[in-house]
Structure 1
């Protein structure tokens, strides 16, 4: 399912690989691109995460450029929910195989 097939502001999860959609979703919720510290290798990003305040001590925040380089290299997609069933902004997300 692409993000264009899902309802706008739906409580249903949507899947996308669109960098602009992912960045906008995260930034609207105060999220920052990050990587799991224990999985970084030779200065390269490891497992990707979106880090919300307060910062998670197990994560290193990285640039959006580095985040999307790893995202594309890994061939994954971003599964996310825009709103909860109550209409509130949702932070539900996860990375899945594309």
Structure 2
């Protein structure tokens, strides 16, 4: 699953990121994304995804960049 997420983001020319001024608010940064995003490593991204009990939702059937982070519970 991690590789699927990495590939999905990479194909859309994105990178994992955290909202500036927070320690764990995850986002995917694209070239036209808001400027207050700080790129992070994939290891940190997945660590925070697990720690915060989040699922990464994305549309793998189209070229859409739509994605969301939702609570596992």
TM score, norm. by length of structure 2: 0.87
Q: Which residues in structure 2 correspond to 1:1-98 (within 5 Å)?
A: 18-40=1-23, 46-54=24-32, 56-82=34-60, 83=62, 89-98=63-72
Please provide the CA RMSD for this pair.
1.2
2 CA distance for matches of 1:65 and 1:91?
21
Question: Which portions of structure 1, spanning 4 or more consecutive aligned residues, are displaced by more than 4 angstroms?
Answer: none
TM score, norm. by length of structure 1: 0.67
Using CA pairs below 8 Å that are at least 6 residues apart, which structure has the higher relative contact order?
Answer: 1
